[in-house]
Amino acid sequence: MKTNMKYKLILLVLLPFIIGFLIEGLFRLGITSLGSLLFIPWIFWFWVGRTFGKLNLQPIKSFILGNLAWGISFGLYTWRVVFLNDISGSHFLTGLSEFYALGFVGLGTRILRLFTNQIHGTTAMKIAYFLMLIVFSLGFFSALHSKSAQSD
């Protein structure tokens, strides 16, 4: 793989951290009405999935590479929620584990509201992480499908 392509892929995979950091900053400034921007992370993450699906790598390697930061972040989040309580948890680890999926929490919360009136933040974050995986997978497999259709 070319060096520029490696940097592009690393940036694509890490961009949700930056987006989450920016969303958190907007929340701290009191800007909470981001409803009109709800689907931007979804479109972006679908595109990232398509980008990794088009790579000239074995599909499983490409899928794992595209979800490596997701898996690490989800692992940190799960570890923090299961083994640490909020008091003993590091704010740095909290930020790292929650910022990655923050762009998906809004719709995750709306989905959760379909089933209950009590919204638990940990459940909303788990739903957000799985929505992220689903959206990436849809983009990834659509690229694989179009790649195989072009080769036929």
Three-state secondary structure of the chain:
CCHHHHHHHHHHHHHHHHHHHHHHHHHHCCCCCCHHHCCHHHHHHHHHHHHHHCCCCCHHHHHHHHCHHHHHHHHHHHHHHHHCCCCCCCHHHHHHHHHCCHHHHHHHHHHHHCCCCCCCHHHHHHHHHHHHHHHHHHHHHHHHHHHHHHHC
pTM for this entry? 0.83
pLDDT at 87 over 70: no
pLDDT at 60 over 90: yes
Q: What is the mean pLDDT of residues 102-126?
A: 84
pLDDT above 70 coverage of the chain, percent: 87
Tens of pLDDT along 8-37? Answer: 888 888 888 787 777 777 777 776 666 556
Sole residue written with tokens 């990232």: 48
Rg (alpha carbons) of the chain, rounded to whole number: 17
Q: What is the mean pLDDT of residues 113-123?
A: 85
pLDDT above 90 coverage of the chain, percent: 29
pLDDT at 125 over 70: yes
What pLDDT does residue 71 have?
93
